[in-house]
Amino acid sequence: MNAEQKKMVIKKHKGKLAILTPGMGAVATTLYAGVEAIKAGLEKPIGSYTQMGKIRLGKRSENRSSVVKDMVSLAPLDDIVFGGWDIFHDNAYEAAAKAEVVNKNLLEKIKSPLEKIRPMSAVFDSNYIKNINGENKKTYKTKMEAADLLRADIKNFISKNGCDRAVMVWCASTEAYNPIQDVHKSLKKFEEGLRNNDPKISPSQIYTYAALMEGVPYVNGSPNVSVEIPALQELALETSTPIGGSDFKTGQTLMKTIVAPGLKNRVLGVQGWFSTNILGNRDGEVLDDPESFKSKEISKGGVLSDIFNASEYPDLYKNLYHKIRINYYPPRGDNKESWDNIDIFGWLGEAMQIKINFLCKDSILAAPVVLDLALFIDLAKRAEMKGIQEWLSFYLKAPLAAEGLRPINDLSLQLLKLENTLRFFANEELINHLGLVHYGIEEEIEN
């Protein structure tokens, strides 16, 4: 530990942790199924940094490292209980079978625990999600009443399942674009809006409000504007609850935040970046509605403008043209294929091109991200951290940052921040990779 470093005392995990997901579709059921398969010893937690990632500790000369889950007190997989809400009645086994992500043979082996996960009835508004509808919905007179029903669900779930605490991660569909308006600007106005059924309050905002009122940490895995609004950020601080968002960083955007920082670091110019993809799952169907697509376009779009800072590098990026297309194409199901064409230029202004063709499995990439986010946001709560958790940006497409700060989108910088936060939690020395001792300069700060 560095001499001036504050010593952290974090409540240790105990009992059971409820991971609650609004939405029991492809991503959520791939998560549940994966965790059950790992618990049964059938699979390994590939893609999960908390379960398989290692972190270097101390000076390089110490040759010390730890698996992340052994370094900080995280809930072990055996202590996780899953619950969710959906507009469809399918239990998690049926929903996973319909999503066709998890291999059928494997799914049969974990049928029994998955069948027990039955969706609680949803708070749904077809003004916000147009292309799908279902029967498993709550009835209520006001949006405040809807929030109260969700709060009761959370409390009942925790007590029925003997859980010590809960976290909520939004895994439901992308809602129509809902920009921040007056009703979103303060908690007082928002609560008035809930009582008056303000049409600008979306279901995802109601779930977030319910979670935060219960002191349940919340992560937004979609591009919805929910925990992003000032009213709910105010509530997170008031209830000392950690929050994170927005939108899981998985396929094409993950690749962008790996490639783009490299180009910028080598001071290469970029004239255009055209990203298109085809996907045929229910997420793709919802995104086929222009209003839902708009939400996604915005969360995907900010990444490049943040990494290629045109005001700092006008010669390299002022003309950057960034175009994103998502095409619903049912034959591919969850197997998304994306193409990126990147027009770059270098020394003497010479033009070059990069092509990336990623044949990915959307929910296979997303499931371990949800697991890590859930375990880390629970850790944040036990560390008494509240409000936006920027150290979780590593997992998010449009990371939230404190007011007045630019979000960090570069994946390697996000990892540095994540690793140092974990070292800080574990009262380990923070590492700046300076390594001065090798030049005979200063042994003390060698790291």
Q: How far is the CB of 327 from ligand NAD (least distance, A)?
A: 15
* Cβ pair 128, 203 in contact under 8 A: yes
Question: Which is closer to ligand NAD, CB of 132 or CB of 436?
Answer: 132
* Comparison of 113 and 134: residue with beta carbon closer to ligand NAD: 134
Q: Which residue, 50 or 220, has its beta carbon nearer to ligand NAD?
A: 220
Give the nearest distance from C-beta 159 to ligand NAD in angstroms.
22
Q: What is the closest distance, in whole angstroms, from the C-beta atom of residue 397 to ligand NAD in the complex?
A: 7
Q: How far apart are CA 279 and CA 261, in angstroms?
A: 26
CB 308, CB 264: distance < 8 Å: yes
Residue, CB closest to ligand NAD: 25
Query: Which residues neighbour 163 within 8 Å (Cβ) at sequence distance 6 or greater?
Result: 15, 16, 17, 18, 81, 157
Beta bridge partners of 120: 85
Tokens of 224: 């919805």
For ligand NAD, which is the closer residue by CB, 157 or 424? 157
- In the complex, minimum distance from the CB of residue 369 to ligand NAD, in angstroms, rounded to a whole number: 8
Residue 2 CB burial class (10 angstroms; 0-12, 13-18, ≥19): middle
Smaller CB distance to ligand NAD: residue 233 or 277? 277
Distance CA 412, CA 416 (A): 6
Q: Which is nearer to ligand NAD, 209 or 424 (CB)?
A: 209
Q: From the CB of 402, what's the least distance to ligand NAD, in Å?
A: 23
- 185 or 294: CB nearest ligand NAD: 294
**β-bridge mates for residue 343, sequence order:** 272, 353
Instruction: Please enumerate in sequence order all residues whose Cβ is within 8 A of that of 441, keeping only pairs 6 or more positions apart, or say none.
Output: none
**Least distance from ligand NAD to the Cβ atom of residue 1, Å:** 36
Burial of 149 (0-12, 13-18, 19+ CB in 10 A): middle
- Supply the minimum distance, in Å, between the C-beta of residue 129 and ligand NAD: 5
CB of 307 to ligand NAD, least distance (A): 18
Q: Minimum distance between the CB of residue 437 and ligand NAD, rounded to whole angstroms?
A: 42
Tokens of 214: 């219960």
Give dist(CA 61, CA 37) in Å, integer: 38
Pairing of strands 321-328, 17-22: unpaired
For residues 88 and 391, which CB has a smaller minimum distance to ligand NAD in the complex? 88
Element spanning 160, H or E: helix 143-160
Encoded tokens for 143: 């949006």
CA distance linking residue 371 with residue 221, whole number of Å: 11
Considering beta carbons, is residue 26 or 416 the nearer one to ligand NAD?
A: 26
Residues that bind ligand NAD (CB under 6 A): 22-28, 85-88, 99, 122-124, 129, 132, 134, 171-174, 203, 221-222, 247-248, 250-251, 281-283, 286, 362-363, 365-366
Distance CA 171, CA 126 (A): 17
Q: Which is nearer to ligand NAD, 407 or 435 (CB)?
A: 407
Are 39 and 102 spatial neighbours (Cβ–Cβ below 8 Å)?
Answer: no
CB of 151 to ligand NAD, least distance (A): 15
> What is the total residue count of the chain?
447
Q: What is the DSSP string of 340-398?
A: EEEEEE-GGG-EEEEEEEEE--HHHHHHHHHHHHHHHHHHHHHTT--EE-GGGGGGBSS
Q: Smallest distance, Å, CB 287 to ligand NAD? A: 7
Give the nearer residue to ligand NAD in terms of CB position, either 131 or 239. 131
